[in-house]
Amino acid sequence: MNQTFKAAIKGLVATAGLGIALGSAQAQTVLKFGFGLNLQAHYGVGAVYMRDNIEQRTGGRYKIELFPNFALGGEREMTEGAQLGTIDLVTTSSGPVGNFVPDTLITDIPFLFRDYAHARSVLDGKIGQAILDKCTAKGLICLAWSENGFRHLTNSKREVAAPADAKGLKIRTMENPVHMTAFRTIGVLPTPMAFPEVFGALQQGTVDGQENPIGVITSSKLFQVQKHLTLTGHLYSPAVTLMSPAAYNKMSEADRKTIRDLAREAAAISRKRVEQQEAEGIEMLRKEGMQVKTLSTDEKVAFQKAMAPAYKEFAAKFGQANIDAIRDAK
Ligand code: EAX
């Protein structure tokens, strides 16, 4: 075969290859993903999983850019950003979500969930899906339940072993009316605040304490500004991975299914991290100088009983039957 012909063949093959490459390289969409805490904490490990898998799972059509550490604002602000379309993906605790989707507030009732297995089974089942579906009418696409964890009480003033010990303490709560009612019922002065302001407020003594899962307390180094930890486990804090309808509605059916699958798979990774943080974190907090008070079952029940008057309000708000359906779920 003469040289000219060979060169012509090579040219043809190169052009064809380029054509295929360009044809398959649809414009790639980059999704901005905001969440709190660092990449090693429970939301971060889930978000990294979604980032590392979305390109392959969508044939290169989507890429995720991560914004950890509340870089895009507090959880309420990020949720609003998803509604407005300025943020594409958010993982947030359920705390502030109730201000947008009131149906999620039932999951924030203290002592509603027995343990992690109970909470995950309810949220991943029909009851949980029905709540996620309520997001759409409120301008949010809630892809999956993730997890923040059981919350415990910290303060800088004194050991809290019983509800009476907490009386009069100024405790930061999330911007969540159910949490505020519960704490007010035991004589605490609830101060709602976005999480990025919490460390400073504790440092300045604007509030005496706060309540959060172990993974939040350790990853945010709250042990530097809190002396006492009481393992109340007073409520299970779900998290939600949600999406902006502006981004979601542009997706093909196949890519919508992919992003929902990825959010569920990421939640499983986050849940494992929550358990790991809890298993390792309490000892770490002791080593960092916190006085850790473990409660007996009776002592925990005392907190539940002290919050009982709030249950009348919760029953009126959510319906006793709905509360029982969750509480009694296996
Ligand atoms: O989602 O605000 C809170 O206390 C949350 O637990 C924290 O932002 C992690």
pLDDT in tens, 123-152: 999 999 999 999 999 999 999 999 999 999
Domain ranges of the chain: 27-327
Share of the chain above pLDDT 70, in %: 92
The pLDDT value given to residue 305: 95
Which CATH code for domain 27-327?
3.40.190.170
* Ligand 1 midpoint to CA 35 (Å): 10
**Does the structure show a pLDDT above 70 at 23?**
no
Residue 13 in this model has a pLDDT that exceeds 70: no
Segment among 2-6, 134-138, 206-210 with least mean pLDDT: 2-6
Q: How far is the CA of 16 from the centre of ligand 1 (A)?
A: 53
Distance CA 118, CA 7 (A): 69
Name all residues whose Cβ lies below 6 A of ligand 1.
36, 75, 93, 95, 148, 174, 195, 212, 216, 237
Looking at residue 206, its pLDDT comes to: 98
Tell the residue nearest (CA) to atom 9 of ligand 1: 93
How many angstroms is it from 224 CA to the middle of ligand 1? 17
Backbone phi, psi, residue 233, to 5° = 55, 35
Nearest residue (CA) to ligand 1, atom 6: 212
Is pLDDT of 5 > 70?
A: no
Local confidence band at 209 (pLDDT 50, 70, 90 cut-offs)? very high
Distance from residue 19's CA to the centre of ligand 1 (Å)? 49
φ, ψ of residue 93 to 5 degrees: the values are: -65, 160
Q: What is the mean pLDDT of residues 39-56?
A: 98
Residue 327 has pLDDT above 50, yes or no: yes
Q: Is 6 a residue whose pLDDT tops 70?
A: no
| 140 touches 248 (CB < 8 A) | no
* CA 161 – CA 184 distance, rounded (Å): 17
Per-residue pLDDT, averaged over 259-274, amounts to 98
pTM attached to this predicted model:
0.91
**φ and ψ at residue 154, rounded to 5 degrees:** -125, 155
Q: Specify the residue with its C-alpha closest to ligand 1, atom 8.
A: 195
Q: Which residue has the higher pLDDT, 236 or 8?
A: 236
Q: Which atom of ligand 1 is nearest to the CA of 216?
A: 9
